Structure 1
Amino acid sequence: MEYRRLGSSGLKLSEISLGSWLTYGSRVEAEAAKACIRTAYEHGINHFDCAVVYGAQPHQAEEVVGEALREFPRHTYTVTSKVFWKVGPSTYDQGLSRKHLIERVEMSLKAMKLDYIDIYYAHRFDPETDLEETLRAFDDLVAQGKILYWGFSQWTPAQIERAAAIVDKRNLRRPVVSQPVYNMIDRGIEQEVMPICAREGIGQVVYSPLAQGVLTGKYKPGMPIPEGSRGADPKYGKFVQRYLSDEEMLRRIQQLQPIAERNGLTMAQLALAWVLRRPEVTSAIIGATRPEQVVENVKASGVKLSEEDLKEIDRILGYAE
């Protein structure tokens, strides 16, 4: 496993991180989830991603992840959580108000049985709360030692620039990480988000690097959705549908197989290596329901694709200039 510095912070994260979205606390039983986390740690992953809303109910995935990580010395890993989405009937059960942020951090700490959370994210931007209120709350939580760093997920370029201007003006602690979707198909952050964050010292820890499993090549055009896959799940398949509805893209993805084979890679490893080709990307978050998936994916760390391979990938997927 290789490690990269997270933005301008002192953190060094494994190039591959393990996430818990749609898996731990919901689709995957606790013992299987713990086996995946244990395997990840043993293979060099030091960054574990979670959120308040992950799991069948609020904080459930946090409980599973926290329990699994208690096997290991606290100083040897980083763990995250995220807050924003509605988690209850109260008007205070959502958003990025000072009240919700501070109360949810306490609940996250209790769920994970931790003294501090390494990174706490604004899971989305909250248009109904003054941005300075949110930024001051994050600053206070860092000062109190309840979180060490803060970041955001899926903020627009304008939102990122506004936040950067406020923290500079008010001398508040800066965000160190952005968590956007990024993969061979979803490249939207390349034009503005990456350059802005690089300028501001904000690293990228990207999610969905395999496009919900589509880039593994297991979803073939004109063929039934494989049994047991996320796409076949009656509850969670909706997250894959936007990819599966594009038959032409599915055909193009199948054409990536020879590139993977000549590099001695699986399709998943190829997709992860492609994401990690960018120096702005600190880490790519994978999901896993079985330890074997973790073992396969960590092998993408350190893989360098040639310029010829990268150009061919762009040509196949329709991104060539």
Structure 2
Amino acid sequence: MCPMEEIVRAMNYVISQGWSMYWGTARWSPVEIMEAYTNCRQFNCVTPIVEQAEYHMFCREKAELYLPEMYNKIGVGFMAWGPLSMCLGDTQNSERLWLPKGSFKTKSQSYSWTEDEVNKEERLEETRRIFDKARDISTLAEKLGCNAMQLSIAWSLKHEPVQCLLLGATSPEQLHQSLQALQLLPRLSTGVMLEIERILDNKPVRPPPISTLALR
């Protein structure tokens, strides 16, 4: 990896040459973002203004626990991606089930056959739980008069840390369908958001601080 000083100096050079107006990070940890900011201050370079990170109903910890703190401390915004990357099947067909792609991992995770078998069972159980949650989310979306993809987009936009949401589309029709999620925002009342939280049951919680005295 390049030293952080080299990265921030390179980005500063790009901006000073007029090739870009600003720069940001993608899939960096909060520690790396803070290190970049510190180096920028030290060497009088342009600081990053945005972090691009995955965020959807099944990937929440970084976006909800740590990025708001980065924004409040150093002004780094949050550009989210991911609501569409976890949709399986034809989005035009409401009967297709909506699931996160990451649930289906088949590669071995270790060099131990017995350990892989245990991991396989755990992954299958996790997939079943996610399957049930996705089914309930799809049912709720039908009650709201939309599909699960649109509900996923609207849910992401409803969260305050999200300042920008990246969407992809393979056709104008799919793009139009995704943009219709904006009309769903007023209908995501407190009651609906609480119902989604009840279904997901995965709201991230910051771990309690560990006292150094307890380690002595």
- When normalised by structure 2's length, the TM-score is 0.73
The answer on whether the counterparts of 1:198 and 1:280 sit within 8 Å (CA) in structure 2 is no
Aligned residue among 52, 68, 81 for 1:194: 68
Q: 1:181 & 1:206 partners in 2: Cα distance?
A: 6
1:142: which partner in 2?
Answer: 15
2:104: which partner in 1?
Answer: 241
Q: 2:140 & 2:98 partners in 1: Cα distance?
A: 17
The answer on whether the counterparts of 1:185 and 1:211 sit within 8 Å (CA) in structure 2 is no
Is 1:306 matched up with 2:183? Answer: no
Q: 1:211 & 1:318 partners in 2: Cα distance?
A: 21
Q: Comparing both structures, which one devotes a greater share of its residues to helix?
A: 2
2:87: which partner in 1?
Answer: 213
> What is the SS of the residue equivalent to 1:247?
helix
Q: 1:229-270 CA distances to partner (integer Å, 9 max, x unpaired)?
A: xx7xxxxxxx6734x951220111111134323332221111
Q: 2:169 & 2:98 partners in 1: Cα distance?
A: 21
Q: 1:198-246 CA distances to partner (integer Å, 9 max, x unpaired)?
A: 432222111112342159783479xxxxxxxxx7xxxxxxx6734x951
Change (3 A) 1:294 1:240: farther
Which sits farther off after the overlay, 134-143 or 254-263?
A: 254-263
Change (3 A) 1:156 1:269: same
Q: 1:317 & 1:249 partners in 2: Cα distance?
A: 9
1:154: which partner in 2?
Answer: 27
The answer on whether the counterparts of 2:83 and 2:156 sit within 8 Å (CA) in structure 1 is yes
The answer on whether the counterparts of 1:182 and 1:207 sit within 8 Å (CA) in structure 2 is yes
Aligned-residue CA RMSD (Å): 2.8
The answer on whether the counterparts of 1:212 and 1:240 sit within 8 Å (CA) in structure 2 is no
Q: 1:249 & 1:136 partners in 2: Cα distance?
A: 43
Deviation at 1:156, TM superposition (A): 0.6
Change (3 A) 1:214 1:195: farther
The answer on whether the counterparts of 2:53 and 2:78 sit within 8 Å (CA) in structure 1 is yes
The count of aligned residue pairs is 179
Structure 1 segments of 4+ aligned residues over 4 angstroms from their partners: 214-217
Deviation at 1:174, TM superposition (A): 1.2
Aligned residue among 143, 156, 160 for 1:275: 156
1:315: which partner in 2?
Answer: 198
Q: Comparing both structures, which one devotes a greater share of its residues to strand?
A: 1
Which sits farther off after the overlay, 144-153 or 311-320?
A: 311-320
The answer on whether the counterparts of 1:182 and 1:275 sit within 8 Å (CA) in structure 2 is yes
1:289: which partner in 2?
Answer: 170
Is 1:252 matched up with 2:133? Answer: yes
1:72: which partner in 2?
Answer: none
Is 1:264 matched up with 2:145? Answer: yes
Equivalent positions of 1:31-50 (< 5 A) are: none
Which sits farther off after the overlay, 244-253 or 211-220?
A: 211-220
Is 1:181 matched up with 2:66? Answer: no
Unpaired segments ≥5 residues, structure 1 = 1-127, 222-230, 232-238
Unpaired segments ≥5 residues, structure 2 = 106-122, 206-216
> What is the SS of the residue equivalent to 2:78?
strand
- When normalised by structure 1's length, the TM-score is 0.50
Quick check: which has more Rg, 1 or 2?
2
Change (3 A) 1:152 1:318: same
Change (3 A) 1:181 1:292: same
The one-letter code sitting in structure 1 at the alignment partner of 2:179 is: V
Q: 1:143-163 CA distances to partner (integer Å, 9 max, x unpaired)?
A: 101111111111011111111
> What is the SS of the residue equivalent to 2:158?
coil
Q: 1:158 & 1:197 partners in 2: Cα distance?
A: 13
The one-letter code sitting in structure 1 at the alignment partner of 2:81 is: Y
The one-letter code sitting in structure 2 at the alignment partner of 1:241 is: F
Equivalent positions of 1:82-97 (< 5 A) are: none
